[in-house]
Chains A and B, each alone.
Chain A
Amino acid sequence: MTAQIFHDSDTDRAYRAKWITGRVIVYGILILWAFISIFPIYWTITTSFKMAPDVMKGNMVPWWDYVPRWLGWRSLGLSPDTIGNESTVREEFLKRFWNSTVVAVSASTLAVALGSMAAYGLSRFSYRFGFMRNSDISFFFLSQLILPPVVLALPFLVLYKSLAMLDTRIGLILLYTLTVLPIVIWIMRDQFGSIPTELEEAALVDGLSIWGAFLTIILPIAAPGMVASFILSLVLTWNEYFFAALLTSSHAKTLPVMVASQTGSQGISWWSMAALSFAAILPLIIIGIALERYIIKGMAAGAVK
């Protein structure tokens, strides 16, 4: 019997075992949290294809313990067999969807336009409005973040009523612009701060005006920041419920309000609620998966100075 001459020392082997346990724990936690994050979405998708008995039996995996049906989507008028027919629910849904899209996109565009201009000005020039200097103006913009929406909601309700702007898209757009503007300014200030001023100086020497330099030289360079702030604004405005619930009733109602108004009345017909909820979150899931880079960039902008 020959003894093995070369072998790993005990400490090395212990290290290896420790490394493997470490990996198992790390991936275990990661997978657990990924499960926690994704399961509700999975649950919603699968539920939208269930029928009443499936819901009550608690079946979870399609094709394995239940047969997917189009029940939920049919009630929305979006299943293959009803897509060609007239459907009042679908029309309602599409109207709300369109309202949400218009409001979210215009508010984000407006906020990015106003916010980029302000952030550029603040990062390049020193202003004095009365006692307000640059840092005060920046603080004034950013401090709007603290303002809870409920403070503005009731005065706006009364104001919009007297301006006949209740239940209009433009009213919502203006309010949403206000709520996301501080975030846009925050991200864009960071973005412009990282662009060297030599670029504009060169452009000015070459005969561009300051606005010309801003529009043709700086904005294209700052595009990633603009995209990031646009998408963040889009997410926030698309999901906004509080103002929409207070200020809209029939004409300008947005998708979250429609979803909320259905939750109470549907009882156990989960399949249709699931279909509706999923249709409401689908655009953002797609945006989240496709443009994750920009969202992370936008949120990281303020964190690291």
Chain B
Amino acid sequence: MSAEGDRLHVVTADDIADSRLRFGKSLVWGSAVLMIFIAVLQTADQNGWIDIGFTNWRPTLYAYIFWGICLCAAQVIMRGEHGKRTLFVLPATLFVVSMVVFPLLFGLVIAFSDWNLASPDGRQFNGLDNVRQMWSDPFYWNALRNMVWYTLAIIVEYAIAFGLALLLNAEIKARKFFRVAFLLPLMLSPVAVSWMIGKSMLENRFGPVARMLRELGVDNPSFFSSPEIAQLMIMLMDAWTYIPFMMIMILAGLQAIPRELNEAAKVDGAGAWTQFWEVTFPLMLPVSITAILIRIIFKLKLADIIINVTAGGPGGATDSVTSFIFREYRDRSNVGYGTLLAIVYLVIIVVAMTILIKVADRWMRPRY
């Protein structure tokens, strides 16, 4: 979409009176002053300089919401028709900014402090102690390494998803049944999945999978005692839930490919294999890359299954970063260290994703 010029042109003759402008301005600034006043009052109360008896920070929150509403209203009052257009985007922007940017800044402050929520001391600034602790925390590095493995598993998931999408796109009967059946795992909550599969089907003694393996001659199958197999099981469970997601994106891409292209290739004497590699696969590259990128984003949030099935065990071997921080908080209720780990993780993700998107972009651009 081009940066300048509206797609929807509206000619407006807004004639905004001075008094209306002044009213709008005073509304915004008045509510802002009110908000700052309340915030200062609360800070003073919190630090014990004065005593008003606030029990929590709700008044400041209400003042902030009030300011937000005034800001939106003032857009229309001050800028008329243009303000009405701004009103489409402004609420969502305000919401996201206040829900993301503010907590992130706050998180940066927490990250450099020692703050045990259970202790009465409150927050203690401790400089770079958390960074030093992180540097020598083998479990965190292990969790980061695990994330690389978990992310690499996406390649296999992608291959399976592509295969299934190809089959669903072929001439088959009962397509609707298969589509619904394949989609179902995506609907299930990871917590339920971790019980259904991780804790009952993969149970050592009575689980059906263990039983089947015993029939096949494996003695004492166990799924979560050796690190490699436990990791593999986590990957499998996660793949089971998310393969439908990639499959559907790829299927949508396949259906958008005009039939003529494959027909033309067939006329030119291409076999099924050549058709796939020379026609379908290259055409699917953009869709594939989108699907993989989104899948990576979801994979980086992987935690629920690990928390519920292995709780990171054996010995932290299956930990993802998220589940590690979750346990770290649960065990020690120290928000400072966990936040630092999370922010370092975020920085790594942002850098890696930016590089990945750049590379994908370059790779996708046609070369002559």
Contacts and interface: CB of A to CB of B under 8 A. Distances in A.
Interface in A263-305: 263, 268, 270, 273-274, 277, 280-281, 284-285, 287-289, 292, 295-296, 299-300, 302-305
Interface stretch (B21-29, B149-157, B321-329): B321-329
A36 interface: yes
A217 to B, nearest CB: 12
B253 A303 contact: yes
A155 B106 contact: yes
Nearest to B309: A263
A61 to B, nearest CB: 12
Interface string A169-203: 00000110110010001000000000001001100
A158 B89 contact: no
Given A37-B182, A300-B251, A304-B256, A125 B85 contact: yes
Contacts of B93: 118, 129, 137, 140
Interface string B175-217: 0111111111111111111111101110001101001000000
Nearest to B257: A304
Contacts of A300: 248-249, 251-252
A219 interface: no
Given A149-B301, A151-B107, A144 B342 contact: no
B110 A154 contact: yes
A151 B342 CA distance: 5
A238 to B, nearest CB: 7
Given A40-B197, A150-B345, A114 B84 contact: no
A87 to B, nearest CB: 21
B192 A281 contact: yes
Interface string B312-340: 00000000011001100100000100110
A125 B103 contact: no
Interface in A149-167: 149-159, 161-164
A150 B326 contact: yes
Contacts of A281: 187-189, 192
A38 B201 CA distance: 13
Nearest to B60: A163
Interface string B31-69: 000000000000000000000000111100100000000
A148 B84 CA distance: 33
B319 to A, nearest CB: 12
Interface stretch (A8-16, A23-31, A62-70, A74-82): A23-31
Contacts of A3: none
A30 B16 CA distance: 66
A150 B8 contact: no
B179 A141 contact: no
A260 interface: yes
Contacts of A257: 191
A109 interface: no
A178 B95 contact: yes
Nearest to A157: B335
B187 to A, nearest CB: 4
B10 A204 contact: yes
Nearest to A143: B350
Nearest to A210: B84
Interface string A228-249: 0000000100110110011000
Given A58-B211, A211-B84, A177 B10 contact: no
B100 A55 contact: no
A34 B107 contact: no
A152 B92 contact: no
A288 B89 contact: no
B190 A30 contact: no
Contacts of B307: 241-242, 245, 260
Interface in B82-97: 84-89, 91-93, 95-96
A2 interface: no
A40 B183 contact: no
Contact of B100 (A117, A118, A147): A147
A56 B342 contact: no
B56 A34 contact: no
Contacts of B178: 30, 34
A241 B241 CA distance: 15
Given A292-B179, A299-B252, A150 B92 contact: no
A44 B196 contact: yes
Nearest to A280: B192
Given A242-B303, A300-B249, A115 B92 contact: yes
Interface stretch (B164-172, B218-226, B227-235, B273-281): B164-172
25 contacts: A34-B177, A36-B240, A37-B184, A43-B208, A56-B205, A117-B89, A120-B88, A122-B88, A127-B86, A140-B93, A146-B297, A158-B106, A164-B58, A178-B95, A181-B95, A200-B8, A209-B84, A211-B87, A246-B326, A255-B189, A277-B192, A281-B187, A288-B184, A288-B186, A303-B287
Interface of B: 1-10, 55-58, 61, 81, 84-89, 91-93, 95-96, 99-100, 103-104, 106-107, 110, 115, 117, 163-164, 167, 170, 172, 176-197, 199-201, 205-206, 208, 211, 240, 244-245, 248-253, 256, 286-287, 290-291, 294, 297, 300-301, 303-304, 307-308, 321-322, 325-326, 329, 335, 338-339, 342-343, 345-346, 349-350, 353
3 residue pairs, one from A and one from B, having the closest CB atoms = A121-B88, A300-B252, A239-B189
